[in-house]
A and B are shown apart, each in its own frame.
Chain A
Amino acid sequence: MSKQGIVSLEGVCMNYQDLEGETPALKNIDLEVQEGEFIGIVGPSGCGKSTILSLIAGLIKPCSGQVKIEGKEVEGPSSKVGYMLQQDHLFEWRTILQNVMLGLEIQKKANEENKKKVMKLLDTYGLGDFKNHYPRQLSGGMRQRVALIRTLAVDPKILLLDEPFSALDYQTRLALSDEVADIIKKEKKTALLVTHDISEAISMCNRVIVLSKRPGVIKSSHDIHLSGEKRNPVSLRKAPEFREYFNIIWEELDVHVN
């Protein structure tokens, strides 16, 4: 970790305040993300996985430590970062095209040129025929793809994916994770994926970070090397190393069900 990454967290701590008291969410997080990396963050529920994304997105400020993007401290939301949430949150009153234009509208970049770019994205990823449809006319998987394109439309360098597949059924989830990994690779984005699905993290990411129970500290980091000819997440699950990674991470997660 010699050179400064595109995203870096240095000694980040985060506490949440409410009337009952203080909840420490993250403790002393150091993380360097290099350009083009696809990082998976796994951890027990409530360990502050999503908090890391909110910090990078500039939605909240750390209590101590620094969050930097391209060497500059994060002051607030920036167009360099795109955030994809658990639910697609497409606006029912907007057509697919209008939904995808949302970010550009907010950043006052909704010009003809960008509109063409967005149309091209929709065409490329099989949604061109649905431009003028309303969200309720689309299936869950398609809606989540629209949500991804809405995020990509503002051309962020870094994508934050907050359990983006957890609301989908299993088949759709597998198919979509394939597609999303493919899209992110093609568009040359750096990505951070928060998930509770170990297989998803191993098959999609090239580095998986394991967080401990609250307050979250980084327990370990695994570079993932899977052998196999096809490089898509579904086939990679068959790689011989897959089970090993899975077992190691599973042990580290230390899940107990009472």
Chain B
Amino acid sequence: MSMSTNNNKAPVSEEHLAYLKKVRRYKLSIRITQIAVLIVFIVLWEVAASLGWIDAFITSQPSRIVKTIISLAREGELFRHVSITMLETIIGFTVGTILGTLIAIILWWSDFLAKVADPYLVVLNALPKIALGPIIIVWVGAGPVSIVVMALLISIVVTVIGVLNGFLEVNPDKIKLLKTFGATKTQVLSKVILPASIPTIISALKINVGMSWVGVIVGEFLVSRAGLGYLAVYGGQVFKLDLVMTSVMILAVAAALMYQGVAWLEKKYLRWRQ
């Protein structure tokens, strides 16, 4: 019986070293090109605006964005807007995921409830949740809470559907195995359904990061007096494209960071997969 562990590899040959070098060089060239694309884009934008090829009043320009960021930072506004939006997103995202997973557990537990809920989930999933914005504002009030509710609504249905499907895809023989040991339903849930579904739950998390940002920004468009979404809308209203571009840029960075955070979680908890 052969073992496929890493500790019985042959000593490294010349050929293998050459292969490794080739792979490394290929990866490096990808990374360099990625960075180059970004730099070229920024430089081109800057130069085009400076030389008047494009109207910087409408398109803004990298140096102006930097200036806007600095002046916002000096006034202490930058941190305030970013942190409010981040906080709303994180709350919406966390609550959406936890609540969604809990509902999925309930629906897994009772096949009857799952079947009853099915058409409603389909409709809720297809419905553009943004249309519920006015209702939420009336019910919850025009404030940060309704923004969080917006983010939550957008992410929760997808979570329920995604996680429940993950639960139902667990191999029935794995459940049979537990039952032969005399496992209760709670044990089936905790020993196999949940751990086997962690990859599904994490991919739900990844989708939810994006969903929650959409919810929060839309919410801020509608009601808020602070946050990056507010900044963008305000900038548009007073025709300060610098402000709009700045908030979009910060948003891009913040969303990417949060996605990386989830990816880090995935790496940490799915060590057995590597």
Instruction: Report if B173 contacts A (CB, 8 A).
Output: yes
Contact A89 B183 (CB under 8 A): no
**Alpha-carbon distance between A139 and B3 when the two chains are bound, in angstroms:** 6
What string of 1s and 0s marks CB contacts (under 8 Å) between B1-25 and chain A?
Answer: 1111100000000000000000000
Residues of chain B at the chain A interface (Cβ within 8 Å): 1-5, 171, 173-174, 176-183, 187, 191-192, 195-196, 198, 270, 272-273
Which residue from A133, A139, A175 sits with its C-beta under 8 Å from B2? A139
Residues of B within 8 Å of A137, CB to CB, are 3-5
Least Cβ–Cβ distance between A162 and chain B, in angstroms: 10
Q: Which residue of A lies closest to B175 (CB)?
A: A89
9 closest Cβ contacts across the A-B interface? Answer: A83-B180, A77-B182, A103-B181, A106-B181, A93-B272, A106-B183, A141-B1, A134-B272, A93-B195
Q: Which of A54-104 contact B (CB under 8 A)?
A: 57, 59, 76-79, 81-83, 85-87, 89, 91-94, 102-103
Instruction: Report if A111 contacts B (CB, 8 A).
Output: no
Least Cβ–Cβ distance between B194 and chain A, in angstroms: 10
A-B contact pairs, 15 of them (CB 8 A): A77-B180, A78-B182, A79-B182, A83-B176, A83-B177, A86-B173, A106-B182, A106-B183, A106-B191, A107-B182, A137-B3, A137-B4, A139-B1, A142-B1, A175-B1
Instruction: Report if A174 contacts B (CB, 8 A).
Output: no
Residues of A within 8 Å of B171, CB to CB, are 89
Contact B1 A172 (CB under 8 A): yes
Contact B174 A59 (CB under 8 A): no
Beyond A89-B174, A93-B198, A102-B191, is A138–B183 a contact (Cβ under 8 Å)? no
- A78, A86, A91, A142, most chain B CB atoms within 10 A: A91
Least Cβ–Cβ distance between B32 and chain A, in angstroms: 34
Least Cβ–Cβ distance between B173 and chain A, in angstroms: 6
Residues of chain A at the chain B interface (Cβ within 8 Å): 57, 59, 76-79, 81-83, 85-87, 89, 91-94, 102-103, 105-107, 130, 133-134, 136-139, 141-142, 154, 172, 175
Which secondary structure dominates chain B's binding surface?
A: helix
Residues of A within 8 Å of B272, CB to CB, are 92-94, 134, 136
**Alpha-carbon distance between A185 and B165 when the two chains are bound, in angstroms:** 43
Q: Which residue of A lies closest to B6 (CB)?
A: A137
Residues of B within 8 Å of A94, CB to CB, are 272
Least Cβ–Cβ distance between A94 and chain B, in angstroms: 8
**Alpha-carbon distance between A81 and B3 when the two chains are bound, in angstroms:** 31
Least Cβ–Cβ distance between A29 and chain B, in angstroms: 20
Contact A89 B173 (CB under 8 A): yes
Least Cβ–Cβ distance between B190 and chain A, in angstroms: 10
Contact A91 B196 (CB under 8 A): yes
Residues of A within 8 Å of B198, CB to CB, are 93
Which residue from A77, A107, A133 sits with its C-beta under 8 Å from B179? A77
Which residue from A85, A133, A136 sits with its C-beta under 8 Å from B177? A85
Residues of B within 8 Å of A138, CB to CB, are 3-4
**Alpha-carbon distance between A141 and B1 when the two chains are bound, in angstroms:** 7
**Alpha-carbon distance between A157 and B45 when the two chains are bound, in angstroms:** 77
Least Cβ–Cβ distance between A180 and chain B, in angstroms: 14
Q: Which residue of B lies closest to A153 (CB)?
A: B181
Residues of A within 8 Å of B273, CB to CB, are 92
**Alpha-carbon distance between A89 and B181 when the two chains are bound, in angstroms:** 14
Residues of B within 8 Å of A105, CB to CB, are 191
Which residue from A85, A91, A92, A130 sits with its C-beta under 8 Å from B176? A85
Residues of B within 8 Å of A172, CB to CB, are 1
Contact B181 A102 (CB under 8 A): yes
Residues of A within 8 Å of B1, CB to CB, are 139, 141-142, 172, 175
- A83, A93, A141, most chain B CB atoms within 10 A: A93
**Alpha-carbon distance between A36 and B104 when the two chains are bound, in angstroms:** 46
Q: Which residue of B lies closest to A87 (CB)?
A: B173
Least Cβ–Cβ distance between A41 and chain B, in angstroms: 17
**Alpha-carbon distance between A118 and B273 when the two chains are bound, in angstroms:** 25
Q: Which residue of A lies closest to B5 (CB)?
A: A137
**Alpha-carbon distance between A77 and B179 when the two chains are bound, in angstroms:** 7
Which residue from B4, B174, B176, B187 sits with its C-beta under 8 Å from A106? B187
**Alpha-carbon distance between A85 and B171 when the two chains are bound, in angstroms:** 13
Contact A107 B5 (CB under 8 A): no
Q: Which residue of B lies closest to A79 (CB)?
A: B182
Which residue from B4, B5, B179 sits with its C-beta under 8 Å from A59? B179
**Alpha-carbon distance between A240 and B5 when the two chains are bound, in angstroms:** 42
Given contacts A85-B177, A93-B198, 14 further A-B contacts (CB under 8 A): A57-B180, A79-B181, A83-B176, A85-B173, A86-B173, A91-B192, A94-B272, A106-B183, A106-B191, A133-B5, A137-B3, A138-B3, A141-B1, A142-B3
